[in-house]
A and B are shown apart, each in its own frame.
Chain A
Amino acid sequence: MFDQFLKRGRRAALAALLIALGLGGAHAAQAADVVLRVDGLACPFCAFGIEKKLLAVPAVEGIDVRMNEGRVILRLREGERLDLAALDAAVEDAGFTLRKILIEDAVGTLSKGGAGELVLRCSAPPATFRLHLAGEDAAPGAEAGSTVAVSGTVEEYGADPAPLVVTSLRPVAPGSGEETR
């Protein structure tokens, strides 16, 4: 019995070392930051409803509520598709108003949509956005086939792909490691 205990301990120590060295398997994709701007968040006790409802959305693993900023920061579950309409419904069912969704540093590949607009396909979280750019000069290097990191806001949640009003867009160099995000 003591031998088994020692074996398990050695195995755990080896696993910890491998993880520390980055050899523990495939890199986990690092998700974009998704923040909800919620109106009506006045009391922490009532905010429990938002926790309860958002955690029922499959893509949401955890939340961090910032009462004084009216923000709810989402921790996303790997591999689950981000359904913006479900986030909107969850906030509404909790009795609050979703003002906008802030997407920060969503890394993906650009392609051309049916109407010639730019579409961003991200892997972490799996989501597709139709980009709204202020002008071509606002996003140099934004062309189909390129990999970019985009930040912006979404205010219409029902459309697929959701329209993302871009506040910043930058190219991501291949091999930089960011493209795994």
Chain B
Amino acid sequence: MRRGPGAPRSRASLGLATLVLLSCVAAPAAAHEPVFGVGPETIYKGGVGIELGYGYDDLGGRRDQLLNTEILYGATKDLSLTLEVPTLLRRETGLGSTSGLGDVLLRGKYRFWRRDRLGASERASVLLGVKFPTGAHHRSVRRGSGSFDALAGLSVAHESRRWYGFGTFRYVWRTEHDGFDRGDRVLFDVAAGFRPWLTEYLEPDLVLLLEWNGEWEGRDRLRGSRLGSTGGFTGWLGPTALLSYRNWMFKTGVQLPAVSDLNGGQKRPDLRTLAAIEYHF
């Protein structure tokens, strides 16, 4: 059946509006994937997931307490949409502190390849996303970049009853805002994990992971001039755990900077932690 040209657009707008509305009235979502990284998993068709996470990051010159809300929707069995709404409970820097809404991210994940076997699966997905400048950025302590940024990436995973393996590559293009152009970012995540007890459905299920997250950031530019003490590379490493029961999952992890090669006189980051709860319906 053919529909009018406005129908798909209005439906898409309605879907986006619903996601935004849900993010305002409800709490948190993602799937069985790394805690600090992203995997290729998609939620079932028509499924909705909500995730509420608390994070504490000590990044040397900046300390963040973050409440992260994610809403996940399975548009098809292979396409998931995620709306990520970060709220800074407190950000402290040498210049002062702030709290409030950060930059909202809308991410799409399309699983283009899947191979299922008895008790195991391999999957691959492409990632595309847009970050909106919703966080305040005209202050001494900023909550957002002020720019629209784009994200593209590729994620692959092997998942079996016993073993997990994830690999993800992401590139973030950052655009200029008020003459300030933050450096692009390259993120590459590798995670390996295992399930100590092969539990059945409707039993508590634990998966332990070791995650590596490499983050390279280019130098920022102010009206075309490169800024010295910006950008560089940090390689985060740490254990994470996923504990689930039916459609509930609790996830937590801590990461330390195993490698830190930052430009100029930037302080070395200390740690980052995350605890989150996720619900699918």
Binding site for B on A (CB under 8 A): 39-53, 65-68, 70, 92-97, 99
Contact = CB atoms under 8 A, between A and B. Distances in A.
Contact of B116 (A65, A66, A96): A96
Interface in B36-60: 41-47
Contacts of A50: 44
A42 B280 CA distance: 17
Nearest to A71: B118
A32 B180 CA distance: 69
Contacts of A68: 119, 161, 198, 200
Contact of A70 (B114, B118, B202): B118
Nearest to A46: B32
The size bracket of the interface on B is: 35 or more
Interface of B: 31-32, 41-47, 77, 114, 116-121, 159-161, 195, 198-203, 205, 207, 242, 244-247, 249, 280-281
Contacts of B161: 42, 67-68
A52 B74 CA distance: 13
Q: Which 5 A-B pairs have CB atoms at the shortest separation, nearest pair first? A: A40-B116, A49-B44, A65-B201, A39-B116, A45-B244
19 contacts: A39-B118, A40-B114, A40-B116, A41-B119, A43-B32, A43-B244, A44-B199, A45-B31, A45-B205, A45-B249, A50-B44, A52-B44, A52-B281, A67-B198, A68-B119, A68-B161, A70-B119, A93-B46, A95-B114
A96 B201 CA distance: 15
A92 B159 CA distance: 18
A48 B246 contact: yes
B200 A66 contact: yes
A44 B42 contact: no
Contact of A95 (B42, B119, B195): B42
A129 B117 CA distance: 27
Nearest to B247: A48
A47 B249 CA distance: 13
B193 to A, nearest CB: 11
Contacts of B198: 67-68
Contact of A44 (B45, B117, B118, B203): B203
A47 B118 contact: no
Nearest to B278: A45
A135 B135 CA distance: 72
Contacts of B199: 44, 67
Contacts of B45: 53, 93-94
A43 B205 contact: yes
A144 B257 CA distance: 74
B162 to A, nearest CB: 9
Nearest to B118: A70
B205 A39 contact: no
Q: Which of B119, B159, B198 has the most CB of A within 10 A?
A: B119
Contacts of A44: 199-203, 205, 244-246
A44 B195 CA distance: 11
A39 B117 contact: yes
Nearest to A38: B116
A35 to B, nearest CB: 14
A46 B119 contact: no
B41 A46 contact: yes
A120 B251 CA distance: 50
B77 A95 contact: yes
Given A45-B244, A48-B246, A67 B41 contact: no
A42 B160 contact: yes
A48 B195 CA distance: 18
A50 B161 CA distance: 16
B65 to A, nearest CB: 27
A46 B114 CA distance: 15
A93 B160 CA distance: 20
B251 to A, nearest CB: 10
Nearest to B204: A44
Given A40-B116, A43-B159, A95 B44 contact: yes
Contacts of A43: 32, 159, 195, 205, 207, 244
Given A46-B31, A48-B280, A49-B43, A40 B120 contact: yes
A10 B160 CA distance: 55
